[in-house]
Structure 1
Amino acid sequence: MKELWRNRVFLIVFSTDLLENIGVWIRNMALLFFVMEISGNNPTAVSLLTAIEYVPILLFSVIGGALADRWDPKRTMISANLLSSLSVCVIAVLLWKGYWSAVFFATFVSAVVSQFSQPASAKVFKIHVPEEQVGSAISVSQSMGSLFILFGPIVGTFVYEASGVYVSLFAMALLFLLSAFMLLGLPSSKRASSVSDSHEKTSLLAEIKDGIRYVRHHSHLRGIVWLFAMLGLGSGLINPLEVFLVTDRLQLPKESIQWFTALEGVGMLLGGILASALHRQLNGKLVIHGAIVFFAVSVVVEALSTSAPLTGTMRLLSGVLLAFLQIVLSMKMIHLVAEEYVGRVNGTMTPLFVALVMISSFVAGPLMELTSLITVFCLSGFFLLLGSLGVNKIMEAEPPQSQSNQEQQHPLSKPKHQQSLETEQL
């Protein structure tokens, strides 16, 4: 862990992530409260904020991933932060002139930009963080994310109530500007120019198709896709209905759901800390299998439970195991994906997960009306359990070599695409 904190690249990325998380939560809470006040607590307007965040993931994730593989990740991250900062300033001006619906555009732009910056950040980890430090780096990032799940709304609410929407938006813009300035300290990718030259010879659509083929032809990535698909279906079914566990099963006020959400956040924080300390001793297969099986069981237990302590305990433990699962899967993604495909693989998997979450969330309410709350949660548990079928494929894989290394070892043997498949296919 000490070596990680001496890694300049990690320190810069961690510090900028910290600033960006603060800015995002300040913006999120400011826009939420502003829309509620302007619209008179209109649920359609509030839900539209969430929907607008998902649409860019479906539309731009694949494109953003492919472009992240083309571009220097340092420049991509800096450009994304500058664009986010500029867009928020423009939105603040529009709000000042009375165009309050511009808040939806701000949310949309921010979500679009993130589809470029996130895969670029993953590529920075792949290039500049030594393999033995990746587990610690992901664990620290996971713990920071869990902290913001707990305290982000508090910080955002405080800033909004103390200063209002305009100060909140300009504070977010300033934080992203500072983040972009700090990212200037990142080293440029040594392979950026050569990779960019090679990409210029092929079209963007061809590269997107190549990324999809890369996923399809590697069984360990197919296993992750299957796991993500089942997690998307299972979580989408129960996310909109969790409030009914509180009101119908536990007979508590709907506002009490915040405490169960907080317990899950505490669990994720504890899990991140534990995984950071134990990541080298973790049995990846056991962690993924155990987490998925526990999630499936806990969903059913929560549906059947009429005890608040039991439900709270399941939420806490689910948070711990969710942190372990995210860290193990993130480590696998970094280890098992060749550097030149990091962006496209992320861009291929993310929209699949989000699409299935949206589809299952859409049918959750009608399905509950046709059957029952317990039936829907049991169906969710079944989908989660099916996700464990892909674990063996994930764990059997070997770390890939980049295409450039393959070419050096087999310069005259076979085409680049065929070399990659034979080297990595199981």
Structure 2
Amino acid sequence: MTAPGAQANRLKRTFEALSVRNFRLFAGGQLLSVTCTWMMIVAQDWLVLSLSGDSGTALGLVTALQFTPVLLLTLMGGRLADRYDKRVLLICANAASGVLSLLFALAVLLPGAELWHVYLFALGLGTVNAVEVPTRLSFISEMVGVELLPNASALSAAYFNAARVVGPALAGLLISVLGTGPVIALNAVSYLATVLSLLAMRPGELQRGGAPQRGATRVADGLAYVRGRPDLLLPMALVGVVGMFGFNFQLTLPLLAKTVFHADPRAFGLLASALAAGSLLAAFVTTARRGRPTATLVVASAIAFGLLETLTGLAPTFATALVLLAATGFASMTFAQATNHRIQLGSAPRFRGRVMALYALIMQGTTPVGALLLGWLAEHWGARSGLYVGGLVSLAAALAVLFVQLRGTGDGAPPDEDIRANRPEVPDHR
């Protein structure tokens, strides 16, 4: 039986990063905002299917438009994050997202909403995300420092997935009662929480490691840095394939719910929440991490994800799909966290904004290609194909990376300067 003192210490270590005031403010604002963002995503997807006659191609196009700016502009966003004050950039990005979401809500609430309205605002929000995502990822280390970075990153994933549990389920209920417009309007208001939390921070407590760089922040230097680091390059490549084909749940789940199980918005919300519940559990498991994950953990979690997503695509009943989606969510978050921590903890601070921008670019920027392909596939081969094809491709990529690693050519120790900058450089199997 575990002693009460040991339980208290374990709980304290799980939420250790929340002892930092700036991060506590940030996490609170994000929890509310991200919950409403997931509600908006469900409302947006349901609106697209309603306006297009359940078209997988239309849904794929919306997803592509939302992530295309990430593909084109994220590296520039990472350059901005390394060059300017990340807190100020995040305030501006969240304020811009709030304004765009409000305009989107008005377009839906007023008579005559059309598909091109959805396309336009998806593109606009994606453009803002190209700056916000790499800035937010690299800002976490400034709030808590390198030692607490894995814990803070895992807690960030926890609140993100808590939002994914609550948001879709609540959205399904509200859409059934109020329609999609009010849900999108609620998301617009929620950005105030993030902006206010950033304004309430104490800039003097941020661990910036010196003044922002001005003249030596070329995108090409960041790419050259990663190219010379096999231990960063291989997980980046694996993230690219899994992100393109495996992580297209925004496309595959609405189609699965509406065309395979003939579900209503509430049931669709349950599918999304099941995926998020598994991800949330994995996020809490990784709060115990204190060192850099091994390459083996990255590949093993990718293999598990590929197998589980394939099985989800073959699920015979709605109940079976819920269970498999929860397991798939656990594997997907384990993989995402392992690659995030392996890449971020292996990067020198002066390159971290650009490295995490490349990570975000590869993770999310490949989504447009995958969304268009899987949308076409689902429309011609059925909604299930988007899941099992994505799972099989992810599995094949993980096995290919495993083969490279077994040959001993795909990993390497980081340079001494990175070890000193990211102490402790201790492999972590969690």
TM-score, length-scaled by structure 1: 0.75
> Does the alignment pair 1:118 with 2:126?
no
- 156-165 vs 140-149, which moves further: 156-165
Contact 1:291 1:325 in 2 (8 A): yes
Deviation, structure 1 residue 76: 0.4
The corresponding residue for 1:416 is: none
Residues 155-176 of structure 1, C-alpha deviations (whole Å, 9 max, x = no match): 2344455555554444323221
Match of 1:195 among 212, 218, 236: 212
**How many Å separate the matches in 2 of 1:63 and 1:282?**
27
Contact 1:305 1:311 in 2 (8 A): yes
Deviation, structure 1 residue 27: 2.9
Deviation, structure 1 residue 184: 1.2
The corresponding residue for 1:418 is: none
The corresponding residue for 1:272 is: 283
The secondary structure found in structure 1 opposite 2:214 is: helix
> Does the alignment pair 1:387 with 2:397?
no
The corresponding residue for 1:324 is: 334
- 144-153 vs 379-388, which moves further: 379-388
* Structure having the larger proportion of residues in helix: 1
**How many Å separate the matches in 2 of 1:67 and 1:139?**
25
The secondary structure found in structure 1 opposite 2:289 is: helix
Deviation, structure 1 residue 242: 8.0
Match of 1:57 among 67, 70, 93: 70
The secondary structure found in structure 2 opposite 1:336 is: coil
Contact 2:158 2:283 in 1 (8 A): yes
Amino acid at match of 2:212: V
Contact 1:246 1:257 in 2 (8 A): yes
The secondary structure found in structure 1 opposite 2:200 is: coil
**How many Å separate the matches in 2 of 1:359 and 1:145?**
25
The corresponding residue for 1:219 is: 230
Inter-CA distance 270–108: structure 2 relative to 1 (3 Å threshold): same
Residues 256-276 of structure 1, C-alpha deviations (whole Å, 9 max, x = no match): 887665443332222222222
Deviation, structure 1 residue 18: 0.9
**How many Å separate the matches in 2 of 1:196 and 1:213?**
18
Deviation, structure 1 residue 80: 0.7
- 347-356 vs 76-85, which moves further: 347-356
> Does the alignment pair 1:335 with 2:345?
yes
Inter-CA distance 151–94: structure 2 relative to 1 (3 Å threshold): closer
**How many Å separate the matches in 2 of 1:247 and 1:344?**
40
TM-score, length-scaled by structure 2: 0.74
The corresponding residue for 1:151 is: 166
> Does the alignment pair 1:289 with 2:299?
yes
Higher alpha-carbon Rg: 1
The secondary structure found in structure 2 opposite 1:398 is: coil
Inter-CA distance 154–242: structure 2 relative to 1 (3 Å threshold): closer
Contact 2:253 2:272 in 1 (8 A): no
Give aligned-pair identity as a percent: 17
**How many Å separate the matches in 2 of 1:177 and 1:239?**
25
> Does the alignment pair 1:346 with 2:353?
no
**How many Å separate the matches in 1 of 2:90 and 2:258?**
43
Pairwise mapping of residues 175-186 of structure 1 onto structure 2 (< 5 A)?
A: 175-186=190-201
Deviation, structure 1 residue 28: 2.7
**How many Å separate the matches in 2 of 1:379 and 1:32?**
25
Unaligned runs of 5+ in 2: 1-12, 422-430
Contact 1:292 1:387 in 2 (8 A): no
Amino acid at match of 2:215: S
Contact 1:52 1:107 in 2 (8 A): yes
Deviation, structure 1 residue 132: 2.9
RMSD of aligned Cα (Å): 4.2
Unaligned runs of 5+ in 1: 406-426
Deviation, structure 1 residue 289: 3.2
**How many Å separate the matches in 2 of 1:326 and 1:74?**
24
> Does the alignment pair 1:253 with 2:261?
yes
Inter-CA distance 84–68: structure 2 relative to 1 (3 Å threshold): same
Contact 1:65 1:344 in 2 (8 A): yes
The secondary structure found in structure 2 opposite 1:212 is: helix
How many residue pairs get aligned? The number is 392
- 216-225 vs 91-100, which moves further: 91-100
Residues 87-112 of structure 1, C-alpha deviations (whole Å, 9 max, x = no match): 23344455566563434333222221
- 163-172 vs 138-147, which moves further: 163-172
Residues 180-235 of structure 1, C-alpha deviations (whole Å, 9 max, x = no match): 12201334467598434335xx7xxxx12222112112222212222223324552
> Does the alignment pair 1:81 with 2:123?
no
The corresponding residue for 1:397 is: 413
